[in-house]
């Protein structure tokens, strides 16, 4: 009652002409990101407002000798600011920290609520964790529920039954691309994401907003940081090294990153022995200039050079069971020389009209020059290898594999985006034009000889078992528009968040126009604010990129070649997702349990088969199907002061292919992932990290066959990586002067990749004898390897 009287008196004073004080500002979190829907109120009154979606607020109060302003938000500690005799306009932009509870010397954090389908990922947990690929962001993603990877040398991942090509990636709001001709982890090298430059990672496994493009499975949104002062980071290991340098002032900031990778030691554990000469180099820059408080100009640049050379010598593979063991021996001649060179640049101009409206003009260009060239000749023996087997020769022969494929791809993208805040609504909208130019030249063939006969065997003829050619020059244009509204309001029963949007796109190659409505709803009940609920869905499309509309046909004399299907349609996915989070405390530590159910109805599918990292499409809309599953994740402090998590995914897929119902090529029925961190109480500077993956094997079939003709499953993927790190220099262990005093931290670590030395299968080499009997010889991934690393920040 007293508070209401005070407020009435203040209002009366305002009418009487007493001076007013305007209080404005922006509320941030620890990562310098705006906090939306935070509460800002003047203590002792009922005057208060909520921040908008950009963290901005503004309120007016009568002048007074002392004004106490309180800033609060669910999941954050409350901050109070005292104003002494304020006049005119006062700006307060506080930083709120996540709530914490002191437990001895360990700080335990309460986890934020998630009200949409985008989950934030903290990379700090994994900076000293073992990582065979060297791509830290993607390595973390593969431990998330619904995300899997089958190759530790690759940054590619599959999400909820989708292929590698169904994931969109954005850096600073610009969509980026990956090389198209990658077929194995050895070729891939470095991901386009430099994890040392990242400030924020947001990831959605489905149900993402209309602002994200036409992909069916996931959206990864990366933000590079703006340095506030001089900073740097470096690392070195047996696999390569990185160096990141940054500097910032109030108006200008720059961040540069260089990476070099040469993981020949890791490849040396593969069964194909020879001379591995991989060299991967990457340079990135992020420059920001703010000529005024309203303008922001940013430049993003990337140059990547990945070269892979391999001269094979021999290979010996044992496979089968104890009662049916086989041995495959090959002697090689020839070599493979591949290169993947990409250049990417983006310029963004942002203008903030007022606290609720801003516009961004973007222009970006991407160019890749890819060459896959090999001539490899081999002589092989396939024998029975069981105990007591005598004269168990199953096949002997020769083969010659040849490929010369060059792909040049140029993408120019222009976009205008805007945001407008109106009361509790935030409108986002944008229009874009993309121009794609493709130069494709391919010549690929394989000759096989079994027991002195070329395959396929035709009397008095020498034939190749497989050949393919492609010769295309193509330029196309894509147009897109999106609009979405995010509405957040505090109801009497809880916090409600609603996002609804529409994406429209057109492609002149197939004259197709797509309408993609999407929605998401989040709710945090006041009666139990440990619980947050989510519901999302929409109509999603997979707009065909170059590989998806290529199909094989034959000329008038029967020679095969690749043609382009200008009648191709976008694959369609109707998605529904329901889930939620529940935060709780156990053993006086915070935990969060997340669960999501999802269902995808698929149509206009372009069938494909997966061979290692190579996705081979039919080039036609020939099937339909569905994907359904559940993802669960337990995140928390299994050990005081360190975050760990356990993920479990169960999934079922089905596809009707040529009238036969079969599982999709990505039908991974179960997946279990563990990321665990620990420290030694007697030596707190010594930390232990472990990453474990167990996932079901994928359906596979022999080359140039489809699953409706027959398939089998690969063995389950099982891998355990472990690492131990010691802090040489840290906040509490740093000399006061000298060279080492300039470092924030220095870590020395030892990793063991594939600790259990398990032979995981990436793909199969198929041997065919003259009787048309085929044998699937497994191509195994890397075995146990040791790595030593040194990392530092300054």
Cα Rg of the chain, angstroms:
29
Residue written as token pair 């005057």: 47
Output phi, psi for 641, to 5 deg: 90, -5
Instruction: Note the pLDDT tens digit of each residue in 436-483.
Output: 999 999 999 988 887 666 666 666 666 787 888 999 999 999 999 999
**10 Å Cβ neighbour count for 556?**
5
Could you tell me which of 10, 231, 235 has the C-alpha nearest to residue 136?
235
Minimal CA–CA distance to 413: which of 87, 690, 177? 177
What does the block give as tokens for 467?
């050949």
C-alpha distances (whole Å) from 470 to each of 403, 411, 473, 475 are: 12, 21, 10, 16
CB count in 10 Å sphere of residue 291: 10
Nearest to 445 by CA among 372, 375, 548, 550: 375
The two structure tokens encoding residue 316: 């010996």
Task: Tell me what pLDDT residue 18 has.
Answer: 61
Residues 6+ apart with CB under 8 A from 404: 372, 373, 441, 442, 443, 444
Give the strand order in the sheet containing 89-91.
Answer: 56-62, 20-26, 89-91
Contact call for residues 254 and 248 (beta carbons, < 8 A): yes
- Closest Cα partner for 278 from 251, 242, 241, 305? 305
DSSP secondary structure letters along 261-309: E--HHHHTTSSEEEEEEEEEEEEEEEEEE-SSSSEEEEEEEEEEEEEEE
Helix (H) or strand (E) holding 313: strand 295-320
Q: Considering Cα of 655, then 660, then 661, then 665, what sign does the dihedral take?
A: negative
Q: What is the C-alpha separation between 755 and 741, in angstroms, rounded?
A: 36
CA distance 358 to 52: 13
Residue of 125, 268, 110, 261 lying closest to 189 (CA atoms): 261
pLDDT at residue number 100: 45
Instruction: Provide the CB-side half-sphere exposure for 240 (13 A, CA).
Output: 22
Q: Looking at residue 626, what is its pLDDT?
A: 97
| Contacts (Cβ under 8 Å, ≥6 apart) of 639 | 677, 678, 679
| 75 token code pair | 């999941």
Nearest to 441 by CA among 559, 562, 614, 611: 562
- Residue tagged 């792909």 (tokens): 407
The whole-number pLDDT of residue 462 equals 60
pLDDT of 103: 34
Q: What is the pTM of this model?
A: 0.85
DSSP 459-513: TT----SEEEEEEEEEEEEEEEEEEEEEEEEE-SSEEEEEEEEEEEEEETTTTEE
Residues of the chain predicted below pLDDT 70: 1-18, 31, 74-75, 99-113, 185, 386-392, 451-462, 768-772
Digit-coded pLDDT (tens) for 723-770: 999 989 887 777 888 888 888 889 999 999 999 999 898 888 887 665
């Amino acid at each position: 009652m007293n508070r209401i009287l005070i407020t009435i008196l203040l209002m009366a004073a305002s009418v009487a002409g007493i001076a007013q004080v305007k209080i404005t500002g922006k509320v941030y979190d620890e990562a310098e990101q705006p906090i939306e829907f935070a509460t800002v109120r003047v203590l002792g009154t009922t005057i208060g407002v909520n921040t908008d979606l950009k963290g901005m607020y503004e309120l007016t109060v009568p002048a007074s000798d002392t004004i106490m302003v309180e800033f609060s938000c669910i999941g954050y500690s409350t901050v109070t600011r005292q104003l002494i005799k304020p006049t005119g306009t006062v700006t307060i932009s506080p930083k709120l920290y996540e709530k914490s509870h002191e437990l001895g010397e360990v700080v335990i954090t309460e986890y934020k609520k998630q009200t949409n389908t985008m989950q934030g990922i903290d990379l700090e947990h994994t900076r000293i964790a073992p990582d065979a690929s060297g791509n830290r962001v993607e390595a973390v993603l593969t431990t998330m529920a619904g995300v899997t990877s089958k190759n530790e040398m690759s940054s590619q991942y599959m999400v909820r039954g989708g292929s590698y090509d169904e994931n969109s990636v954005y850096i600073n709001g610009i969509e980026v691309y990956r090389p198209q001709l990658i077929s194995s982890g050895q070729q891939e090298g470095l991901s386009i994401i430099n994890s040392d430059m990242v400030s924020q990672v947001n990831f959605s496994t489905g149900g993402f907003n209309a602002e994200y493009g036409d992909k069916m499975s996931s959206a990864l949104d990366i933000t590079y940081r703006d340095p506030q002062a001089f900073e740097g980071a470096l690392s070195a290991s047996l696999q390569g090294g990185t160096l990141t340098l940054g500097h910032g002032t109030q108006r200008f900031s720059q961040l540069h990153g260089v990476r070099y990778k040469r993981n020949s030691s890791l490849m040396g554990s593969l069964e194909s022995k020879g001379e591995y000469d991989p060299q991967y180099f990457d340079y990135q820059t992020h420059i920001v200039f703010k000529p005024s408080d309203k303008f922001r100009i940013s430049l993003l640049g990337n140059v990547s050079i990945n070269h892979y050379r391999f001269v094979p010598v021999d290979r010996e593979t044992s496979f089968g069971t104890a009662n049916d063991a086989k041995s495959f021996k090959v002697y090689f001649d020839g070599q493979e020389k591949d290169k993947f060179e990409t250049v990417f640049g983006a310029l963004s101009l942002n203008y903030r009209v007022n606290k609720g409206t801003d516009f961004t003009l973007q222009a970006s260009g991407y160019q890749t020059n890819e060459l896959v060239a090999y001539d490899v000749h081999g002589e092989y023996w396939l024998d029975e290898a069981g105990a007591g087997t005598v004269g168990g020769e199953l096949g002997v022969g020769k083969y010659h594999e040849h490929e010369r494929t060059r792909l040049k791809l140029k993408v120019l993208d222009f976009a205008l985006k805007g945001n407008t805040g109106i009361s509790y609504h935030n409108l986002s909208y944008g229009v874009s034009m993309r121009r794609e130019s493709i130069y494709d030249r391919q010549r690929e063939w394989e000759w096989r000889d079994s027991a002195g006969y070329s395959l396929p065997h035709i009397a008095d003829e020498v034939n190749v078992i497989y050949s393919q050619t492609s010769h295309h020059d193509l330029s196309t244009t894509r147009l897109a528009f999106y609009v979405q509204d995010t509405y957040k309001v505090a109801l009497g029963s809880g916090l409600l968040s609603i996002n609804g949007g529409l994406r429209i796109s057109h492609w002149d190659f197939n004259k197709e126009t797509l309408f993609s409505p999407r929605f998401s709803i989040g709710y945090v009940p006041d009666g139990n604010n440990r619980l947050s609920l989510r519901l999302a869905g929409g109509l999603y499309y997979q707009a065909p990129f170059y590989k998806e509309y290529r199909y094989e046909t034959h000329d008038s004399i029967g020679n095969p070649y690749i043609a382009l299907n200008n009648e191709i349609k976008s694959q369609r996915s109707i998605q529904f997702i329901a889930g939620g989070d529940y935060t709780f405390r156990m053993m006086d530590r915070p935990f969060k349990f997340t669960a999501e159910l999802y269902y995808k109805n698929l149509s206009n599918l372009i069938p494909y088969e997966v061979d290692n990292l190579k996705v081979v499409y039919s080039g036609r809309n020939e099937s339909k199907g569905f994907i359904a599953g559940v993802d669960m994740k337990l995140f928390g402090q299994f050990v005081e002061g360190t975050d760990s998590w356990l993920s479990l995914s169960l999934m079922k897929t089905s596809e009707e292919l040529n009238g036969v119902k079969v599982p999709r090529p990505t039908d991974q029925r179960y997946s279990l992932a563990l990321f665990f961190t620990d420290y030694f109480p007697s030596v707190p500077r010594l930390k232990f990290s472990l990453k474990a993956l167990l996932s079901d094997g994928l359906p596979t079939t022999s080359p140039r066959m489809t699953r409706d003709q027959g398939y089998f499953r690969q063995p389950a993927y099982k891998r355990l990586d472990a690492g131990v790190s010691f802090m040489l220099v840290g906040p509490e262990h740093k000399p006061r002067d000298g060279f080492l005093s300039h470092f924030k931290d220095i870590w020395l670590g030892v990793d063991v990749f594939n600790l259990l030395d398990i032979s995981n299968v990436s793909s199969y080499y198929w041997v065919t004898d003259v009787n048309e009997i085929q044998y699937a010889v497994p191509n195994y991934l890397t075995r146990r390897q040791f790595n030593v690393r040194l990392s530092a920040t300054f």
